[in-house]
A = this chain, B = another copy of it.
């Protein structure tokens, strides 16, 4: 039983405006505006009368008009990079979910746009200049932050998910996950399990993120006095590369465990193990990175470093709010720590 009577649930042909509400409540338009945006300013009975009129008419402020007047859209722009088929990479999608969720609570919506091609700047310009969004969340910082300088120069508010790797003096706010801490966690976990020869399969050297994650692996091994020599491989982020690299490492370095820069590479390791009749978690331990769906559903479960994307989203939105409230403020950086989800593969 619906108790509340929604008078206008049938949606009137034409949407009511402030003026309609004002007339109905017997007040001025400004008073209605205040009732919506600054209810504290009204006297109790006036507020009640206006709110009743609002309810009766089913009034909802027109966004375009409000945007025009306040010069704000309450929209956050996010560029979506194309899906990568054949990989396990879906961190971006998980992040989008978290961001949408968190933004809503802050009164923002997420506007998705796509760059035409490889140019990461494509698409930002138009949205910014047409005042379609209030700010951007920049995620594709894997090769440094070409966008950061560019957006900064154009005075576009933005928060980056990802460190300004190549620019220590960067003054924009950012949030990132400590990849090295993640792989260190993974490596220590394996060391605790008794493994000593732990191999690394990561990305090519020009990847900042890849080098960061690799550092966690080597740090953990060195701290416990174990060797890293000959145990590392740097390849492309594909299943095939992970398979090849692990095959070579198994033959030449005889590791008992693998730590990988991504779940995609870890899946490659699982391929090699399957081909050789080896059982992950039993014969050889494997740890991936990103706690993708793949890690969650593959047999016997892939242990993986999980980025706290929900927290990232919260921090990003908070940062965005600060930024929009105080545009001149110097941005801060925040580094979050990932966790390790242990499954059958280790």
Contacts and interface: CB of A to CB of B under 8 A. Distances in A.
Contacts of A63: 67, 73, 130-132
B64 A298 contact: no
A62 B131 CA distance: 6
A155 B11 CA distance: 8
19 contacts: A63-B67, A64-B73, A65-B68, A67-B68, A75-B111, A80-B96, A80-B100, A83-B93, A83-B94, A93-B93, A100-B114, A101-B114, A104-B113, A104-B114, A109-B112, A239-B296, A270-B299, A274-B299, A293-B293
B96 A112 contact: yes
Interface of A: 9-11, 15, 58, 60-65, 67-68, 71, 73, 75, 80, 82-83, 85-90, 93-94, 96-97, 100-101, 104, 109-114, 126-127, 129-132, 153-155, 239, 264, 267, 270-271, 274-275, 292-294, 296-300
A132 B67 CA distance: 10
Main secondary structure of the interface of A (DSSP, over half): mixed
Contacts of A296: 85-87, 239
Contacts of A264: 297
Contacts of A85: 293, 296
Contact of A58 (B71, B73, B129, B239): B129
Given A63-B73, A114-B104, A82 B68 contact: no
A64 B131 contact: yes
A112 B34 CA distance: 29
A97 B111 contact: no
B112 A110 contact: yes
Nearest to A115: B104
A201 to B, nearest CB: 14
B80 A97 contact: yes
A71 B68 CA distance: 13
A274 B297 contact: no
A269 to B, nearest CB: 10
A40 to B, nearest CB: 23
Nearest to A154: B11
Contacts of A80: 96-97, 100
Nearest to A243: B299
Given A67-B64, A109-B112, A97 B73 contact: no
